[in-house]
Copies of this chain bind each other. A is one copy, B any other.
């Protein structure tokens, strides 16, 4: 009878709308600068409904972090194809990572920029996902080490550092690819693969990592 305002939707749908709005707002403005008013309006609902479903700004932000972390981890997991050699697995994982972050810039911003910037309830929330990536890389390196028949694996802390460096390089390349016209996500992935797998010395001596080799 008149304007349809899409009311009375099932809870799950409404919740998803709110989370979408929240991820977008948090990702673009940050935790503090984002306001519940803005999120509610972007979600097309009233503020009390947001509170009814998600309780508080803090819980809402936490829920966003969890959702996006899960989605990213799953994307990387799904992209990497177990059974391939370690370098091909890394290549596949990086491609999945770059593709997912390019398609979900706000989610990535929430995870990478915002969650780590705002103190304690949140930082440890992201740590879980970081640990998962670290575990993925660790596993890769372990597998590679076994392939190479080496007895001594790299120490754990070294692996954690390498994972940090890899993610940092990936994020920098993602930003650079976005800002530099003509650089595709795949090219960025190749650059990172070369950088991380072959190392600068090999690159300078004409021995890059070969995707097809």
Contacts and interface: CB of A to CB of B under 8 A. Distances in A.
Interface of A: 29-30, 32-33, 87, 90, 113-114, 116-119, 141, 144-145, 148, 150, 152, 154, 157-158, 160-162, 164-173, 175-176, 180, 183, 187-188, 191-192, 194-206, 209
Contacts of A198: 199, 201
Binding site secondary structure of chain A: helix
Contacts of A196: 165, 195, 199-200
B168 A164 contact: no
A182 to B, nearest CB: 8
Contacts of A30: 30, 32, 117-118
Nearest to A158: B191
Given A150-B204, A161-B187, A169-B169, 9 more contacts: A144-B204, A158-B191, A160-B176, A161-B173, A161-B191, A161-B195, A162-B203, A165-B192, A168-B172
Contacts of A192: 161, 165
A128 B28 CA distance: 21
Residue of A117, A196, A197 with highest tally of chain B CB at under 10 A: A117
Contacts of A187: 161
Contact of A165 (B33, B144, B195, B206): B195
Nearest to A182: B157
Contacts of A171: 168, 172
Contacts of A188: 161
Contacts of A117: 30, 113-114, 117
A154 B134 CA distance: 30
